[in-house]
C-alpha cells in the first residue's frame, strides 16, 4: 500500500491530484443528496423514486445556455489532449463567456468580446504559470 501511494505521489502523476479530489468531493455530496432525499421521502410518506408529475427542468429554462454548456464541456474534454491545457482553456473560456453573454435580439459588443478574450487568455495562462512554475505541478 505504501509503495502504491509513493508511486501515485510522484511528479508525473501530480496533475491527477485535483481531478481525484473533485471526484471524491462530488461523490460525497451525491451521497449526502441521496440521504436527504430518503429522509424527506420518509417524512412525507412518498416513494424515493416518483416520476408522476415530475419535471427535471423548470418551465422556461434557458435551453441555449444549458445545452451549449454541455456541448462546450464535452468538446473541451475532447480537445484537451490535442491542444493541451493552456490553449484549450483560452479557447473554451472565451466560448463560455460568449455563450453566457448571449441575449435575445442583441448583437455582441466589441468591448464584451474583448473583455472575454482578455479574461480567457490571462486566466488560462495565469493558472498554467501558477501550477507549472510556482507549484511545479504539470497540467495535461
Give 101-122 pLDDT, tens digit per residue: 877 777 777 888 888 899 898 8
Q: Are residues 79 and 126 in the same domain?
A: yes
Q: Are residues 18 and 36 in the same domain?
A: yes
Distance of alpha carbon 114 from alpha carbon 62, whole angstroms = 25
Q: Are residues 94 and 120 in contact, defined by beta-carbon separation less than 8 angstroms? A: yes
Task: Find, among 109, 139, 115, the residue nearest to 127 by Cα.
Answer: 139
Cα dist. 51→44, 55, 60, 62 in Å? Answer: 16, 8, 20, 23
How many domains is the chain built from?
2
Domain that holds residue 104: 61-140
Residue 69 has a pLDDT of: 93
Give per-residue pLDDT as tens, 7-47: 656 665 666 677 788 999 999 999 999 999 899 989 988 88
- Model confidence, pTM: 0.61
Task: Find, among 78, 76, 87, the residue nearest to 123 by Cα.
Answer: 87
Q: Are residues 71 and 47 in the same domain?
A: no
Give per-residue pLDDT as tens, 57-96: 788 888 888 899 999 999 998 998 888 888 898 999 999 9
Tell me which of 24, 54, 84 is where a domain ends: 54
Q: Residue holding cell 445556455?
A: 65
Which residues are registered as beta bridge partners of 139? none
Helices within the chain (DSSP H only)? 2-8, 17-44, 63-101, 110-129
Amino acid at each position: 500500500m505504501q509503495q502504491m501511494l509513493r508511486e501515485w505521489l510522484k511528479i508525473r502523476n501530480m496533475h491527477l491530484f485535483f481531478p481525484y479530489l473533485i471526484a471524491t468531493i462530488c461523490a460525497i455530496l451525491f451521497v449526502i443528496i441521496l440521504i436527504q432525499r430518503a429522509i424527506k421521502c420518509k417524512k412525507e410518506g412518498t416513494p424515493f423514486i416518483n416520476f408522476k408529475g415530475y419535471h427535471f427542468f423548470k418551465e422556461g429554462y434557458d435551453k441555449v445556455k444549458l445545452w451549449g454548456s454541455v456541448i462546450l464541456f464535452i468538446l473541451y474534454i475532447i480537445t484537451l489532449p490535442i491542444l493541451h491545457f493552456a490553449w484549450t482553456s483560452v479557447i473554451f473560456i472565451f466560448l463560455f463567456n460568449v455563450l453566457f453573454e448571449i441575449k435575445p435580439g442583441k448583437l455582441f459588443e466589441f468591448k464584451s468580446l474583448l473583455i472575454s478574450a482578455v479574461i480567457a487568455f490571462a486566466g488560462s495562462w495565469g493558472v498554467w504559470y501558477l501550477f507549472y512554475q510556482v507549484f511545479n505541478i504539470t497540467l495535461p
